[in-house]
Amino acid sequence: MSKIKPSKGAPYARILGVGGYRPTRVVPNEVILETIDSSDEWIRSRSGIETRHWASPEETVAAMSIEASGKAIADAGIDAAQIGAVVVSTVSHFSQTPAVATEIADKLGTDRAAAFDISAGCAGFGYGLTLAKGMIVEGSAEYVLVIGVERLSDLTDLEDRATAFLFGDGAGAVVVGPSQEPAIGPTVWGSEGDKSETIKQTVPWDRFRIGDVCELPLDSEGNVKFPAITQEGQAVFRWAVFEMAKVAKEALDASGLSPDDLDVFIPHQANVRIIDSMVKTLKLPEHVMVARDIRTTGNTSAASIPLAMERLLATGEAKSGDTALVIGFGAGLVYAATVVTLP
């Protein structure tokens, strides 16, 4: 028989507070059209995007995270010193080590919180939320800060007609803590690595160290291009519309719920057409509030779900205690879906 004592965690976990940060610079489609052959009408019809936010040099991954996290901690009604772990999902923190989570944990004033980064693309918030829930129920942390943050403007090829208009910057954060009743459902998550080429970084970082300029992409003026995110739009669209609706349904089933039980649907803000198609496939009732934050925020990858959640609550379109289905999906290809009670 094992001599290890059982963990003394909470029976359940819940989201206690949410916060967001959007950079001050608002970028309309007209700016994007300076470098690609397209139109405002085409961008709106294909993606739903009207504007996006791009970060200034001072609005770093860490700085945006700290702003969003401060709001989430205040919303949760706790002190930063009570945070036992900081989980940051990002693909746009360019220092391989140390994790940006450690800087954030220190500057927020946590008391030696565990801190680490994860790379799960647009599903990163769902991955972080699942890890946080596990820590709280297991007992290794009482409160966990989960952050989704991106500066995707740094990884955008402004001459790529398929992606130049898609991406925005921002940070969203939630505090996850103990609960006496279920408030974060089972997570349905996974990966389809055979489709990894559909969303990827154009050039690996080590290509620059090797210095083989002949194999590096060049811009219209012959300059070497910085690595960017590229995707096969139609393949990603088909996968998201057909496969992710199935995953969303599985998450509802795992929580013992039907579409009629939902109050809110917060999908990853990838494309309005994808969102609308998922709503139709899931047969969501008209009373379900659907997040379409992408119209003014763009695709912010790991930050998109918490940013959309924060906006719905701030505008009153969703309220505390509402039941929400959240699903993230993207590069990998990876995905994560669960049902939560809104803070």
Active-site entry in 122, 223, 271, 287: 122
- Pairing of the two strands 83-89 and 114-118: parallel
Q: 334: which residues sit within 8 A by CB, 6+ positions away?
A: 120, 121, 123, 127, 189, 190, 191, 192
Torsion angle, alpha carbons of 216, 219, 220, 223, to 10: -80
Of 312, 334, 315, 314, nearest in space to 323 by CA: 312
Instruction: Tell me whether residue 268 is one of the annotated catalytic residues.
Output: yes
Strand, helix or coil for residue 290: strand
Of 67, 86, 152, 96, nearest in space to 330 by CA: 152
* Range 131-134 contact pairs with CB under 8 angstroms and sequence separation of 24 or more: 131/87, 132/13, 132/85, 132/87, 132/176, 133/13, 133/176, 133/184, 133/187
In this structure, what DSSP letter does residue 224 have?
A: B
- Pairing of the two strands 169-179 and 323-330: unpaired
Of 154, 77, 126, 151, nearest in space to 300 by CA: 151
Active-site entry in 29, 93, 271, 299: 299
**Cα distances (angstroms) measured from residue 39 to each of 36, 212, 293, 299, 320:** 9, 36, 21, 18, 39
Instruction: Give the chain's radius of gyration (CA, Å).
Output: 20
Instruction: Tell me whether residue 93 is one of the annotated catalytic residues.
Output: no
Active-site entry in 29, 53, 268, 271: 268
Helices and strands (DSSP H and E) totals, the chain: 10, 14
Tokens of 116: 């680490």
Residue with tokens 């992408």, as numbered in its chain: 294
Instruction: Tell me whether residue 271 is one of the annotated catalytic residues.
Output: no
As annotated, the active-site residues are 122, 268, 299
